[in-house]
Structure 1
Amino acid sequence: MEEIVECLIAGGPQHGLKRRQLWDPQCAGPPVLASDDGEVCTAAARRPSRYGSSCFLLLHPRATGQQILAMMHVLSGNTAPG
């Protein structure tokens, strides 16, 4: 059964964007997202939420280390994206 998950994007034109999308947890792979520049952002981390859902960190292929670390900090719940 599909569930709504949050996806936080690190790098690329949508860096810092948090969006919700449908994902089937029985699917063999994690969610992916095509960014505005046509590149595919892939999941690098997953954090369960207290409400039974999940939040995924999606990486743009050209995300910098600084961008990845910043969004990992957001994913851990320490700050808001931006």
Structure 2
Amino acid sequence: MKEKFDKVNFREKLLASGEFPMLYMFKFIVPKGKKDEVSDVFPKNKVELKESSGGKYISATIRIMAESPDQIINYYEEAAKIEGVISL
């Protein structure tokens, strides 16, 4: 069963991690056919893609200059809509 995302706790951790704006790195694992959907979540940012050794999955790394914890949370919520996505 998928664990429920604790938005309040995560927001507090982001606020405690430093001052905004800050450089923030997202990492996702998606099925190979879903890589364009990850890029669509981050249209203004470079998405670094790396295929898994078995070729079934793609890891995506995105670095953004985040203006607020809420911006980071919004990106995670959009990415969570992608079928089969795993947020790291």
TM-score of the superposed pair, with normalisation by structure 2: 0.32
More strand per residue: 1 or 2?
1
More helix per residue: 1 or 2?
2
